[in-house]
Amino acid sequence: MARGGPAWRDGGLHDAAVVAGVVLLIAGLLFGRADVALLGVPALLATVLGRTRPPGERLTLAEEAAVGEAAGVIESTVQVRGGELVHARASAAGHRPTEFVARTAGEGGRSFRLRLASVRTGPQETAVVDVRAYEGVWEHDPLAVGGARRLVLPSSMRLGGVPVPRSLRGVTGPRVSRRFGDGNELRDVHPFQPGDRLRRIDWRATARRSPDLATLYVRRTFADAEAAVMLVVDSRDDVGPDVRTWRGYSEQRVDEATSLDLARHAAASVARALVEHGDRVGLIDMARESRPVPPATGRRHLRRVLHGLALAHPVGQPSARVRPPQVPGDTLVYLFSTVLDDAAAQLVRTWRSLGHQVVVVDTLPDVRPVTEPHLAIAWRIVRMERQMRLDRLAREGVPIVSWAGSGRLRSAASLEALARVAARKRDWR
């Protein structure tokens, strides 16, 4: 939105120019130096012309968001109109301020592109730009633009493969199912039966097995299908590497990813791997009571999932759910959680009792050492309780993958290994 400033005012250059011109004239007359006296004439003439010529249009600022949102980047364009020179200063939390001077004389003004790299995702504040304009001896009061909240989409990393459910759905897709139907995977060569399609006749096999064409043979294949996966993000809490910020009394650093940032990144990576393979993926936000994103595929749907991940944030105090989110019966569930309470473990057990396969992605960041004695004791108790939950889930056969910054590459390798194991179990031949 454009902002109009107040009227122009004398910036103090008039008095300085008059004093400089008078001093040069007097010095030239006293010392008999005509060249020195002539140096004061331009200053006096510029002062007179500047005072007689009124300033132009008021200074206006306008900020426009970038057309395409990039993952992990906040971009915007600032349009400046008014004045001959502007002195701008761009600042953002956690970043060094940047100052520059530019010429803006012209009918269209001048535009500046701002690009702010962000480790954090979700709703974030943009940079604030303070601008002061100058025109002759006139100076404009500083104006500010920016500081609005923008939605930063999560970035993703390329995964070689991710686990998918054993039971597939649909009559088409990139994977081979256990059902007979149209596909590319050969099952066997069988005598022609009522219901078989004529285009499935294998004439070579028929000529080899029945030269007199008494029996026709057809090629039977396995039907193609697709996998369906639900991404469940436990956004009830958002904690960072500093335990002192968990109480909510101090601000989290903008250059450190929180647990929700890790969850968004992990979920975006899994969603990207599934969509690129042609499978279906859905999204459930546990902190919001909105409808879940149903499983679908395609680039547009991936964009929708990324937008839903960016909107995930804590709402009120963390509370236990009365019933788990409803997911289709033939889907695999990815739960992205810090497992700081029993609610996440209870959800996993409920889903498994209903026959769902569940993969838990631990999104707690690497916690820095705690120096305060009382906080150190509290963190030790919370850490031990959390580890007991994870160990209990692991003994029950639940795959657990840690997505902390120190072991993210190992986490990707663990998902690929789980995908290979799941593929071997699904290969019934």
Residue 270 lies in a domain: yes
How many angstroms separate the CA atoms of 169 and 178, rounded? 10
Q: What is the pLDDT of residue 242?
A: 87
Tokens of 409: 């590459």
Average pLDDT over residues 233-248: 85
What does each C-alpha distance from 297 to 22, 43, 129, 170, 228 come to in angstroms? 78, 70, 40, 13, 9
How many helices (H) and strands (E) the chain has is answered by 8, 20
| Percentage of the chain exceeding pLDDT 70 | 72
- Is there a single domain that holds both residue 202 and residue 101? no
Residue 116 lies in a domain: yes
- Is the model more confident about 198 or about 426? 198
**80 bridge partner residues:** 61, 110
Last residue of a domain, one of 198, 225, 252: 225
- What's the alpha-carbon Rg for the chain, to the nearest Å? 34
pTM equals 0.73
Q: What is the pLDDT of residue 380?
A: 92
Average pLDDT over residues 97-115: 80
Q: Which of 106-110, 113-117, 372-376, 425-429 has the lowest mean pLDDT?
A: 425-429
Residue 160 lies in a domain: no
First to last CA, the chain: 64
- Is there a single domain that holds both residue 76 and residue 30? no
Residue 98 has pLDDT above 70, yes or no: yes
Q: What is the pLDDT of residue 336?
A: 94
- Is there a single domain that holds both residue 41 and residue 75? no
- Is there a single domain that holds both residue 367 and residue 336? yes
- Is there a single domain that holds both residue 258 and residue 392? yes
- Is there a single domain that holds both residue 396 and residue 258? yes
Element spanning 73, H or E? strand 73-81
Average pLDDT over residues 174-194: 59
Q: Which domain holds residue 21?
A: 3-52
Residue 161 lies in a domain: no
Q: What is the pLDDT of residue 176?
A: 45
- Is there a single domain that holds both residue 138 and residue 209? no
Mean pLDDT of the chain: 77
Average pLDDT over residues 335-362: 90
| CATH number where 77 lies | 2.60.40
Residue 172 lies in a domain: no
- Is there a single domain that holds both residue 233 and residue 199? no
Q: What is the pLDDT of residue 254?
A: 78
How many angstroms separate the CA atoms of 345 and 348, rounded? 5
Query: pLDDT confidence of 222, banded at 50, 70, 90?
Result: low
- Is there a single domain that holds both residue 402 and residue 310? yes
Average pLDDT over residues 334-340: 92
- Is there a single domain that holds both residue 250 and residue 383? yes
Q: What is the pLDDT of residue 212?
A: 74
- Is there a single domain that holds both residue 232 and residue 265? yes
**Tally of domains in the chain:** 4
How many angstroms separate the CA atoms of 417 and 7, rounded? 68
Residue 79 lies in a domain: yes
Query: pLDDT confidence of 305, banded at 50, 70, 90?
Result: very high
Residue 158 lies in a domain: no
- Is there a single domain that holds both residue 259 and residue 405? yes
Q: Which residues contact 313 (CB under 8 A, 6 or more apart)?
A: 122, 123, 235, 238, 260, 287
Residue 159 lies in a domain: no
- Is the model more confident about 54 or about 273? 273
